[in-house]
A and B are shown apart, each in its own frame.
Chain A
């Protein structure tokens, strides 16, 4: 029983030692995070990744897509970081940012094409469009597919 009690005391000691190691780190990490983010006040902002589709671009596209409208996202080629291509990253971000419009994986199933990136042209998909609008700030184009 003595060894069992010694093991129990070891558990208490380990728990206290663990907290002693991590508590100061956790506290200072939380403090520095608050210092970094206090003052940011956008309910839809995504830190760092927002540059994939800046807020002005999101607003431009959202004004041209109806809720539940199916869109295909066309992006320039490239890679963002290991294992994730640039088009995958932009499409992933657009799924979040352009809700309640619905992204589809096949341009032929889309009601609209959203192009992101300088030089991206919906005409490259070979579809017919009823209307093509380019963001004057550059980088974003919305093309309504002709039906």
Chain B
């Protein structure tokens, strides 16, 4: 346990070195202010590097992460300028208490995760098997990674957990859950920081607590499934994109690319959510923000490319559906009977009380932004939500798995990115409405 916690400090150091290099923190004061973003940035970099090197049969352990952190700091040290004046958000006790409550819940969760063995099916059958294989073989040993189903799942999560095993010196199916709890901490801190720079503390704290305390968030994060880790990285990347749209905050674009890139390497549907976000950002941002959004999309594509090459070289197919059927009217018509149950199930799970009131919260955020004339943000949030919802429905529609089984097995967790991604935007949307000058700036 101690070794895993020390590894997290290394991820924090890696991320802290990366923030100035990527232009996310331009001087020392901004680095301090944005330090809560550093941990997940470090995890994202380590996970992406480990996932890609695994394809070359190379493992990443503590030594490699340390070297990476040292390299980033070597460059970062030169880049950090003398502090310029940073406008610090005013302290607000109620907002801070809500944020601390979220952290206390995650601490309670992580203490439990230290004792929780592998349990749920996909947690051991897919993710722990891949992580154990990466650790045992020192990379993506082809006889395993091209035959053990599902072969189409990218390697970010198991590669990240393999770094934990290298730190421990052994595979441990119980302690790997601690890494998931740490993702919960990183998510809370990063969401608070991204929101707090722009919205009142009460709104930011309430938003973080609402998401993190959702029963489905806590339960699904405990299962070693990749759905909530995907939602975590996607939601933060999407929030960075939204802030770029709202205020042309270009320093957050590299972070958007990093988090969205990690999301595409988490699960195949990560690409669906990320593509929907980029399309929505292009539509909402208009010509002034076209270049920044397009560059972010290109960076995400570069981060995904090695995995797509591996998939193409080894001809790895998704046995559950063929994307070509999504644009085949006769196939869709022939399977139209799947649409009704899918719509009902996906919407039902998104509005389930297991997620608390996160879906209504997201709707209220969009309404607030529309009423305040913040059309750009409202368009981004609503278009992304609709595209993602339609994408999820389409995937269940074209799946070859019997509809009752696939909905029972997957619908409740496939909506995680939809619900968490939409809810994470709500405080920003509402905060923009509260600022009151939205109509003038559009």
Contacts and interface: CB of A to CB of B under 8 A. Distances in A.
Interface in B385-428: 402, 405, 409, 426-427
Given A5-B433, A11-B427, A99-B132, A46 B371 contact: no
B136 A105 contact: no
Given A21-B357, A26-B218, A93-B125, A70 B119 contact: no
Interface in A35-66: 37-49
Given A4-B371, A7-B367, A49-B121, A23 B101 contact: yes
Tell me the interface secondary structure of chain A in the complex: helix
B318 interface: no
B148 A95 contact: yes
A137 interface: no
A103 to B, nearest CB: 8
Q: Which of A30, A47, A83, A103 has the most CB of B within 10 A?
A: A30
A109 to B, nearest CB: 10
A102 B105 CA distance: 40
B203 to A, nearest CB: 6
Contacts of A10: 364, 367-368
A93 B132 CA distance: 13
Interface in B336-379: 353, 355-358, 360-361, 364-365, 367-368, 371-373
A77 B213 CA distance: 43
Given A1-B372, A30-B218, A102-B144, A47 B206 contact: no
Interface string A76-94: 0000001100000000110
Given A25-B215, A33-B116, A45-B117, 15 more contacts: A4-B434, A5-B433, A7-B433, A8-B203, A15-B206, A15-B207, A15-B427, A22-B215, A33-B112, A44-B173, A46-B118, A68-B137, A83-B409, A95-B125, A96-B125
Interface of B: 98, 101, 105, 108-109, 111-112, 115-119, 121, 124-125, 128-129, 132-133, 136-137, 141, 143-144, 147-148, 170-175, 202-203, 206-207, 209-210, 213-215, 217-219, 222, 353, 355-358, 360-361, 364-365, 367-368, 371-373, 402, 405, 409, 426-427, 429-431, 433-434, 436, 438-439
12 contacts: A8-B372, A8-B431, A8-B433, A15-B357, A21-B353, A21-B356, A22-B213, A26-B213, A29-B215, A30-B112, A33-B112, A99-B133
